[in-house]
Amino acid sequence: MLTHATYHIQNRWQQAELTQMERRTIIIIGFLFCLIGIFIAPLFYVNTQYGEIFFLLIIYPIPALILATLNGYLLRFTELKTQNLILKVGIGLIPILIMTLLAIGKESPIQFIATFGIIGIGITNLIWITKLTKSQFTTS
């Protein structure tokens, strides 16, 4: 009986290792998509010149890294501590909703950070949700 329980726990642990995205992977993907978002976000503004985009790449990688790191920790914590799939997906959408609310405001650096954050973190969270739902359906 004890060996069966030990085997079952070990088997579940191996399945969890295969289906969960590592926090480092989430952070790297989020950061790279945020950098791409820094290129795309100026297209939403009227008077942006292409010379400014390279200036933005000098200033905004640190906020992009902070956003990606916070998002990585949130998603990993959610993945480990929450069992309900709908709750996991809902928590994964919260950062996107917060950044959408910040992006609606007046034109400011916070609005620009929220705009490229929606692009970068949004794509990252969609990848995470897709991987999460696939893993939930294969383990059930």
Provide the pLDDT for residue 12: 53
* Structural domain range at position 98: 21-139
The 10s digit of each residue's pLDDT in 40-91 is 888 877 666 767 878 888 999 999 999 999 999 999 999 888 889 899 999 9
Is residue 3 domain-resident? no
Please state, in angstroms and rounded to a whole number, the distance separating the CA atoms of residues 41 and 33. Answer: 12
Of 73, 61, 6, 74, the C-alpha closest to 34 is 61
Tokens of 35: 């950098």
Average pLDDT over residues 118-122: 94
- How does residue 18 score in pLDDT terms, banded at 50, 70 and 90? very low
The pTM (predicted TM-score) of the whole model is 0.78
* DSSP structural state of residue 22: P
Q: Which of 5-14, 21-30, 86-95, 96-105 shows the lowest per-residue confidence on average (mean pLDDT)? A: 5-14
Q: Would residue 16 count as lying in a domain?
A: no
Q: What's the CA gap between 108 and 134, in Å, rounded?
A: 39
Q: Span 89-106, mean pLDDT?
A: 92
Residue 6, in any domain of the structure: no
Q: How many domains, in total, are found in the chain?
A: 1
